[in-house]
Amino acid sequence: MLFAALTALTLIASGPPSGLENEVRAADARFFTLFFEQCDPAALRQMLVDDFEFFDDRGGLVATDAESFVAQYASRCSERAAPGAWRSRREVLADGLAVYPIQNYGAVEAGEHVFYERQGDGPETRVGRARFTQMWKQEGGAWKLARVFSYDHSALP
């Protein structure tokens, strides 16, 4: 009986993405495109819970609420506006991405991503990779980011 249940779970996990997984992947893509490639502090704020927290293995506790995180983002937006400024892009590695439901709250997303940089309009170079775990909260039909853990950063050749 236990073997049958585990086999069924394995088949489910290896099948096509669920509705939940598709929703979280879409929210993830919106968030990171907005964060790295656009500049819209009001839109970013709408994607965060009030008590948002961001933890990073290189910087420690980066943000303890949505307002301070959005303020940091707005400052970076201003810096990126210069023609020769450095610009970044993030790409999630779909093969390792997993989404798990959290009853009466939302979902946990875990995966790995790579980062690209370019200066001004120069060529883009892949510069690093990291793992992430994110807690998403579903509020009124919208997915909001509640917690981010970014870790295991390493440079790429």
Q: pLDDT at position 16, please?
A: 54
Q: Which domains does the chain have, with CATH numbers?
A: 19-155 (3.10.450.50)
pTM: 0.84
Low-confidence ranges of the chain (pLDDT < 70): 1-17
Q: pLDDT at position 138, please?
A: 96
Three-state secondary-structure class, residue 84: coil
Q: pLDDT at position 96, please?
A: 83
pLDDT digits (tens, 9 = 90+) for 95-122: 889 999 999 999 999 999 999 999 999 9
Angle (nearest 5°) at CA 155 between 149 and 157: 150
**Parallel/antiparallel/unpaired status of strands 86-92 and 98-102:** unpaired
Q: What is the mean pLDDT of the chain?
A: 89
